[in-house]
Structure 1
């Protein structure tokens, strides 16, 4: 196999052109990989994947139109052997677990060093998983934590947008007591002292997007 065949072909998906430029420069300076395509949102990432069949897709989570998690699900739904490295600003064990469950190979924060990013791309191309120390520590810390249910998440999303328990009960067509019970359950799972604290912890861990 010659050197050209050994090079890792990468698609970079991020909605910030400056970030894409920086990643392209870092990747192409590595000597063993090339950026073969770019995307500004999840829909474009899926299109570039179909078009270019890269060895690795380097993907942000927070993108317009189709976000990163939906893009991971779509790409891996079409090709279970796809290698996806998530590079995001947002930590959180729940978000990382969801990305990995959907098929991502690696999960890194944008605070990662150039070498950490390049190493994750190489590991992903070889079929090995990677995670930054901060994310790995967060996942380990909450490994035994109960996940929030869809109903508990629905309540917290409405709390996050400023709705009272009564308003939430009306929107979800359930009783006030049901909302109180779901909120108490969510607070218990998160270790929260009150409803505002519960939203803060849910956002931090990646259960909810920041309101």
Structure 2
């Protein structure tokens, strides 16, 4: 197994799904399955013992569901990146998980090569939602608030973005539009390494956990 392989834990209450994912991912030298769990409670324990880079998390599970498990994982120091497994891209649980800090989602019928690519991208801090899907999900998060709450969230989002430099603000808006690091580098005439550095600064200054939350912040501020 390559030393650079992404360490992954599978959390799904369907043994057949876990077996399928294990077979798909086990054939890639770039991914190492370090643990499995049948529900969120077991998943929290497995993650605590194995310290993976990425967790593939089913949402609808007994005992502790994927949403609660995701929120608990992301509240830990140095948490893994969480990718939600789902059957429907418009699942309300998926929207809530993304708003809570999950790095993206995978449909369970995603092609094997795309699953491996998505895991690698998420481990590297890249977005794994297409711009159209990002926009759809973020609209649902933003529109879920009533007008008073929405106005308050817009003011709070604008205040968080006001902490950014002009260049960081440009990068944040591009993230809100669903752009990849490569796209942002090309459009703003900077290196990918510089884009990554800006994204890291944006995360710290805005108090966001990942690119999806940056995008939500940008949309709530009315900038994308």
What TM-score range do you get, normalising by the shorter chain?
A: 0.5 to 0.7
Q: Counterpart of 1:186?
A: none
- Asked if 1 retains the 8 angstrom alpha-carbon contact of 2:59 and 2:94, the reply is no
Q: Is the 8 A contact 2:31 2:116 kept in 1?
A: no
Q: Is contact 2:73–2:79 with CA below 8 Å preserved after alignment?
A: no
1:8 CA drift (Å): 1.0
Q: CA deviation at 1:124?
A: 1.2
The 2-side partners of 1:113 and 1:72 are apart by 24
- Structure-2 change in CA distance of 1:142 and 1:71 (3 Å): closer
Larger radius of gyration: 1
Structure 1 unaligned segments of length 5 or more: list them. 150-211
- What is the Cα deviation at residue 54 of structure 1? 0.5
Pairing partner for 2:86 from 85, 88, 107: 88
Equivalent in the alignment of 2:143: 145
Which residue in 1 is equivalent to 2:64? 66
Distance 1:146 1:62 in 2: 21
- Kept after mapping to 2: 8 A contact 1:41/1:65: yes
Change (3 A) 1:61 1:148: farther
| Cα distance change of structure 1 residues 27 and 57 upon mapping to structure 2, 3 Å threshold | same
Checking the alignment, whether the CA contact within 8 Å between 1:109 and 1:132 is kept in structure 2 is no
Partner of 1:128: 126
Aligned residues: 147
RMSD: 2.4
Q: Name the structure 1 match of 2:20.
A: 22
Cα distance change, pair 52–64 in 1 and its aligned pair in 2 (3 A)? same
Cα deviation digits, residues 32-52 of structure 1 (max 9, x gap): 111110000000111011000
User: Contact 1:30/1:118 (CA < 8 Å) preserved in 2?
Assistant: yes
Tell me, which stretches of 5 or more residues in structure 2 are unaligned?
148-224
Q: Is the 8 A contact 2:95 2:140 kept in 1?
A: no
Indicate the SS of the match to 1:91: coil
Q: How far is 1:109 from its partner?
A: 1.6
Query: TM-score, normalised on structure 2?
Result: 0.58
1:161-172 matches, within 5 Å, as none
